[in-house]
Amino acid sequence: MNAPFDTPGNALSRRAALRLFSLPAGLAACVLSAPAVWSQTLAAARLPRIVSVNGAMTEIAFALGAGPQLAGTDTTSLFPEAALRTPKVGYMRQLSAEGLLSLKPDTVIGTTEAGPGVVMDQLRSAGVNVALVEADHTWAEVQRKVAAVGQATARGAEARALQVRLDAEWAGAQATVARRVGRKPRAIFILSHAATPQVAGRHTAADAMLNYAGFVNAFTEGQTSPFSGYRPMTAEALASAAPEVIVTTTQGIEAAGGVDKFWSRPGLALTPAYRQRALVALDALYLIGFGPRLPQAVIALHQAALKVAA
């Protein structure tokens, strides 16, 4: 004869019963009166508290259903809309240990771009797990982000399922770009969120995106002195690069005061792109965040830039 806790109709298993007997009497009574509710509460209590200091990794956390586990996020975490309602810990490169520790996270997730380094060390010394993914602007970076968020949030199965879907989308995006034949248009990326606009050279997310979308970065190809990183935009450099397409962010357009004000920046009138008003503006996180929407962003940039350059 089966023990009472083994009967099919009983809500509690033998293992659950053993856990129940170890609880105080009053709490045990509450569990017996509402076993389903208590089971959900126990499950939620076991989930790690996370602070994400990378917009793409925040987006991945929500995609995995781990939004409720986010105790805080940085100011690059702007998608989905629910991310805007999370407590903010500042910009990912200018973090403070005090602000992060006040949220009592089990793990802080981000990329190697997060810092300062001394703050990361202070978090580790305080017993916080710090999981930083290398940012190298490749598809492998996205894969590492998904795996890291899955591990930090204890949602490994969900992360693996998401990665299978994203890998298929990435293969589709690459195939779409590869179908185009002919000369690759020359494009540049302008980062103009602040007073002094900057242009993207080698080893930047923007340079990688231009190449993924089927374009040539005019500041890295055919130049006598190609550069890495970002540098201030000058009229001489724009004239020499002669881009056919300008790529920027919607935030940059807003900071400039609109499209017309953006085009009035010194030096742009010297470019072929100016004559055609060949401008593509996409959301910054979407365009250069290297998150789960990267395949869609590559296709969007590819199609939009080809259209304005036609």
Boundary of a domain, candidates 134, 159, 175: 175
> What are the structure tokens assigned to 255, written together?
């900071």
Q: Among 253, 241, 242, which residue's Cα sits nearest to residue 279?
A: 253
Q: Which carries the bigger pLDDT value, residue 19 or residue 161?
A: 161
Residues 99 and 148 in one domain: yes
This prediction's pTM: 0.83
Q: What is the pLDDT of residues 44-80, one digit of tens each?
A: 457 999 999 999 999 999 999 999 999 999 999 999 9
pLDDT of residue 193: 85
Residues 140 and 225 in one domain: no
Q: Using the predicted structure, report yes or no on whether residue 254 has a pLDDT greater than 80.
A: yes
In the structure, what pLDDT confidence band is assigned to residue 22 with cuts at 50, 70 and 90?
very low
At 181, the pLDDT band (50, 70, 90 cuts) reads confident
Q: Does residue 8 sit in the same domain as residue 77?
A: no
Rounded mean pLDDT of 22-37?
43
Q: Are residue 10 and residue 54 in the same domain, yes or no? A: no
Residue 272: exposure state from Cβ atoms within 10 A (0-12, 13-18, ≥19): middle
**Chosen domain end from 175, 194, 216:** 175
Same domain, 66 and 83: yes
Structural domain including 19 reads 4-46
Q: How many domains does the chain contain in total?
A: 3
CA distance 242 to 216: 12
The pLDDT assigned to 15 comes to 41
Give the C-alpha separation, 75 to 149, whole Å. Answer: 18
Residue 275 above 80 pLDDT? yes
Round the average pLDDT of the chain to a whole number and report it.
86
Shared domain for 270 and 190, answered yes or no, is yes
**Low-confidence winner among 31-45, 95-109, 163-177 (lowest mean pLDDT):** 31-45
183: pLDDT confidence band, cut at 50, 70 and 90? confident
Predicted confidence at residue 194, as pLDDT, reads: 77
Backbone angles phi, psi at 106, to 5 degrees: -80, -35
Domain CATH number, residue 233: 3.40.50.1980
Whether residues 249 and 199 fall in one domain: yes
